[in-house]
Structure 1
Amino acid sequence: MGKNLMELKSNSAYKDEELSNEDFADLQQFLRELTGIAFDKSKFQLINTRLWAHKQKLSFVKWCDYVAYLKSHRQLVSQDIINLITTNKTEFFREKIQFSILQDIIAREKYENLLLWSAACSKGHEVYSLDICLDKLRSSTSLKKWNILGTDINSAVLQIAENAIYPLHDFDSVEESLIKEYFLKGSDDNEGFYKYRTKNLDHIKFRHHHLLHGDRLDLNFDFILLRNVLIYFEELDRLHIVKKLLHSLKGGGYLFLGLSEAIELSEELEYLGNSIYRKKKSNGPASTRKGKKKILVIDDSSIIPKIVEKMLSEEGESYELVGHAKNTIEARKMIFEYVPDLITLDIQMPGENGDEFYRQFLKYKSIPTIVLSSLDKDEGDVVLKMLEEGVSDYIQKPKNAEFSLFKNEFLAKIAISLESKQQRVSLLRRESIEISEKIARNSLIAIGASTGGTMALAQLLPTFPEVFPPTVVIQHIPRDFSFAFAERLNTLCTFKVKEAENGELLEHSTVYIAPGNKQLRIIQEKGVSYIEINNDPPLNRHSPSVDYFFNSIKNLSFQKVVAVILTGMGRDGAKEMLELKKLGHKTIGQSEESCVVYGMPKAAKDLEAVDIEVSLSQMGREIFKTFR
């Protein structure tokens, strides 16, 4: 692959391979996942033509090697492929009758302010056609102000739309008077081009948006135009797209499709003719309606979905199980069919494993995902990598005796995941504070964390300076998972991070992770501090427990102690942090806006146990001020 195209062509053995039916099928699936568009067999030559140059540019001879590269480098190549493969046929005032109807509606209903969305704006012709129509209405109607949003999946055409410069042949069907009034004619190097007027365009915005996989827009549009686009999608996908558009269309608002397009009427729509639909006012804005959240289980086990369904039904009207996929092939179909609000995902499955499925497909869907797996030692590092890539949370599959505890934790994590934004590890600057080894040896940093803590620690710990006091972390974590967590953090840091062991001495510039399902405390004897790992019962339902650990250090003879509470559910750590504060030790809480769950830090703050709250990005600096 290292040879360039000319070198390959000069090789007598070189012969560019034709696109086989098998490789075409792989490309169909890849492009469907990437764009949502169904490319049937009639598009064989189109795909062959549009992707051949890209294949050659990357110096691939075989299509199968090229397809494998696309799949394994999806994030890197996705936008280039989208730009190459999507069709962008457009013109000014395309299907003029609809622009006339739009003007009639605006005049009849006496709009003063308007919000419009061109949902597949391509190079901007439709957006600027709308702007001209509305400007023409200003003098003869009550219309005073409008804003237009143009979106598209293709970043290259969006750039053209923002530049608003078009060649002369784009104006073949535009009246000469409109060209003179609304466009500036280019000269010299710009001869043969026209630019849309640059004055007062703050009311027009362009942005990238994926119709099928993108977030719903929580705006109440008066008009949404999605013309000559739905024909490229399969029926179920068309329905999902329209459903998302209706979420953003106010009651009484209008949806314009292409003249050759039609959709099956729902209770929300009435058909007005000429592929124009009106959303009924009685239903109100979709953003105010609440229904059950749809949960999809991806797991080859037949038991787990039954457990999940039982828990959801006992919860009442909040959630419903809409599907159970036994493998990732079924999962892909069900995600398109049901558009779930949340997914639970097993790791070990027949065929494609859950982590590979998430990395190659699911992470691009913006659907909150909880790993529901055995979480044994072999899976620990896999889950941590998935968390770094955007998985919302993880939970261990239940045993019979643990069902009630599992139910409470599972339902809480569903609620939190549906409200929380995706997390990914971002690099923070390493602190340059210098700490003497004497202070480091005789001090301690004590950290407690729960939900969201694995990601918070992955960002915080690498900011630690070269020399720092021994640091003990109590992270609520499953049995057999803490070792993998410590190993993962150790790869991110330049110093030692390890799972704590019973009887080991505390050393400076080392981070100790408490083992799962055990309690940890610090003991001092004859001026020596060491770790004790024991089987004491859970405290605040947790083993390890932050309160248990904080209690063990409050009467020890450390020169300086900094206690930190990071993101997490519940109140663990708050009570004993207050005792540490009373003894004069520094106490820090993570700020609400930087928490995944503002539970433990809030509980500590409510008890007035926190000296200061800071964001995660400022946490390292605040910790090490104490040791100067």
Structure 2
Amino acid sequence: MKSCNVLVVDDSRTMRSLIAATLSADPEINVVGEACDAFEARDAIKQLSPDVVTLDIEMPKMNGLDFLERIMRLRPTPVIVISSLTERGTDTSIRALEIGAVDCIAKPSPGNKDSLGDLGARVKAAAGAQLRKPRLGDAAPVRNAASYLSDGRVVAIGASMGGVEALCSLLSRFPENCPPTVVTQHMPAMFTKSFADRLNRLCRPKVTEAVDGAILSPGQVYIAPGGARHLLVAGADRPRCRLQEGDLVSGHRPSVDALFQSVARTLGPKSVGVILTGMGRDGAQGLSALRQTGAETIGQDEATSLVYGMPRAAFELGGVSQQLPLSAIADRILTMTNKKRMR
């Protein structure tokens, strides 16, 4: 039975047809309409009340970001951005996720023909998302850098759907001398560079896309590049980033499980694991492995998760030692890893 109604918005008739055909192949999804611009989309949303909207943000007549802001303000609806892999397209997509889009997917291209392969699963996950107004403006006070000194523990964070908003909120609470932090966020290749740059402008620590061999240092946050390699941590005495080619792990590359398991092997109790909002189970086994080594582990709670999939799976597997609302996670990390608290 069809249970999820979707409106497809794109100025390209060919792309609309491709997206609609992909979604219609899923027996639980019903494409209730199509629109070629924001004005058609506005009328269609009023008339059809879709559960999810797929949105091309580079359209004529009205900027896609302006339209998205209106949707979130006037008629909050789960929106999945389907964007071109251009510098402008990826930057705009990251901004769309901050405004309130729940997910972002790359349009098919010669080098990325299968980008819509899991669109149906993402649409169904989006339909159950807990929509909230973006939280970038209500960040808690940032820990004073003078009152914090990293005890050397590495913080490993995993996130997926809803992770852009969650990571912006969490990392904006870190002081400039935060603990060395590695992040795997499920995101298409090319989007992660724009995401890292955006975080670097918003946050006090230095945020970069991870490069192979980079030494993990206080005040640095490393984002796993999207694409064909996993972000791992190597070197117990001098931890560093390792980008490694390999098969999908838990259905993803880069994989949160791959990151967490490498941290468990390399650092064990000299680390902190954090699992944030996202669909699926990636990260559950890795967080459990981390906890078994004696590492502190944190899971985002259901009330503040856009999609309580990954945190739930980790909690049910026993990998979460403490479950917290998003607004409390940064402070807990900093309290646990602050060398000055022991003086």
- Shorter-normalised TM-score: what interval? 0.7 to 0.9
Cα distance between partner residues in 2 of 1:379 and 1:313: 26
> How many aligned positions are there?
333
Q: Which string of whole-angstrom CA distances, capped at 9 and with x for unpartnered residues, describes residues 134-176 of structure 1?
A: xxxxxxxxxxxxxxxxxxxxxxxxxxxxxxxxxxxxxxxxxxx
CA contact (8 A) 2:178 2:219 kept: yes
Cα distance between partner residues in 2 of 1:299 and 1:598: 29
Match of 1:555 in 2: 265
Task: Answer with 1 or 2: which has the greater Rg.
Answer: 1
More helix by share: 1
Question: Secondary structure of the equivalent of 1:609?
Answer: coil
**Structure 2 counterpart of 1:328, from 23, 33, 38:** 38
Cα distance between partner residues in 2 of 1:621 and 1:370: 31
Match of 1:353 in 2: 63
Segments of structure 1 that go 5 or more residues without pairing to the other structure are 1-289
Cα distance between partner residues in 2 of 1:574 and 1:403: 29
**Structure 2 counterpart of 1:429, from 140, 150, 157:** 140
Match of 1:533 in 2: 243
| TM value normalised by structure 1 | 0.49
**Structure 2 counterpart of 1:311, from 3, 22, 41:** 22
**Structure 2 counterpart of 1:461, from 148, 171, 196:** 171
Match status 1:522 vs 2:250: no
Identity %: 37
CA 1:494–1:404 in 2, change beyond 3 Å: closer, same or farther?
closer
Which AA in structure 2 matches 1:430? P
CA contact (8 A) 2:84 2:90 kept: no
Q: Which string of whole-angstrom CA distances, capped at 9 and with x for unpartnered residues, describes residues 4-63 of structure 1?
A: xxxxxxxxxxxxxxxxxxxxxxxxxxxxxxxxxxxxxxxxxxxxxxxxxxxxxxxxxxxx
Which AA in structure 1 matches 2:13? S
State the Cα distance separating 1:550 from its structure 2 match.
Answer: 1.6
State the Cα distance separating 1:297 from its structure 2 match.
Answer: 1.4
Match of 1:406 in 2: 116
Match of 1:418 in 2: 127
CA 1:483–1:400 in 2, change beyond 3 Å: closer, same or farther?
closer
Cα distance between partner residues in 2 of 1:291 and 1:583: 45
Which AA in structure 2 matches 1:566? L
Which of 335-344 and 534-543 deviates more?
Answer: 335-344
Cα distance between partner residues in 2 of 1:483 and 1:342: 27
Match of 1:75 in 2: none
- After TM superposition, list the pairs within 5 Å mapping 1:253-292 onto structure 2: none
CA 1:402–1:490 in 2, change beyond 3 Å: closer, same or farther?
closer
Question: Secondary structure of the equivalent of 1:502?
Answer: coil
State the Cα distance separating 1:622 from its structure 2 match.
Answer: 1.9
Question: Secondary structure of the equivalent of 2:168?
Answer: helix
Which AA in structure 1 matches 2:166? A
CA 1:410–1:445 in 2, change beyond 3 Å: closer, same or farther?
same
Q: Which string of whole-angstrom CA distances, capped at 9 and with x for unpartnered residues, describes residues 339-387 of structure 1?
A: 4333211022234332233235674232322212224332222122222
CA contact (8 A) 2:268 2:294 kept: no
Cα distance between partner residues in 1 of 2:47 and 2:166: 35
- After TM superposition, list the pairs within 5 Å mapping 1:78-477 onto structure 2: 293-316=4-27, 318-359=28-69, 363-398=73-108, 406-407=116-117, 409-423=118-132, 424-426=134-136, 427-432=138-143, 434-437=147-150, 439=151, 442-477=152-187
CA contact (8 A) 1:522 1:532 kept: yes
CA 1:364–1:573 in 2, change beyond 3 Å: closer, same or farther?
same
Cα distance between partner residues in 2 of 1:362 and 1:508: 37
Match of 1:504 in 2: 214
Match of 1:56 in 2: none
Match of 1:592 in 2: 302
Question: Secondary structure of the equivalent of 2:44?
Answer: helix
Match status 1:613 vs 2:320: no
CA 1:363–1:385 in 2, change beyond 3 Å: closer, same or farther?
farther
Cα distance between partner residues in 2 of 1:362 and 1:458: 18
CA 1:505–1:420 in 2, change beyond 3 Å: closer, same or farther?
same
Segments of structure 2 that go 5 or more residues without pairing to the other structure are none
Question: Secondary structure of the equivalent of 2:179?
Answer: coil
Question: Secondary structure of the equivalent of 1:554?
Answer: helix
CA 1:609–1:303 in 2, change beyond 3 Å: closer, same or farther?
same
CA 1:540–1:401 in 2, change beyond 3 Å: closer, same or farther?
farther
State the Cα distance separating 1:332 from its structure 2 match.
Answer: 3.5
- Tell me: higher relative CO, structure 1 or 2? Use CA pairs within 8 A at least 6 residues apart: 2
Q: Which string of whole-angstrom CA distances, capped at 9 and with x for unpartnered residues, describes residues 83-123 of structure 1?
A: xxxxxxxxxxxxxxxxxxxxxxxxxxxxxxxxxxxxxxxxx
| TM value normalised by structure 2 | 0.87
CA 1:364–1:584 in 2, change beyond 3 Å: closer, same or farther?
same
CA contact (8 A) 1:571 1:604 kept: yes
State the Cα distance separating 1:482 from its structure 2 match.
Answer: 0.3
Query: Runs of at least 4 residues of structure 1 off by over 4 A?
Result: 290-293, 360-363, 399-405
State the Cα distance separating 1:459 from its structure 2 match.
Answer: 0.6
Cα distance between partner residues in 2 of 1:584 and 1:292: 43
State the Cα distance separating 1:337 from its structure 2 match.
Answer: 4.0
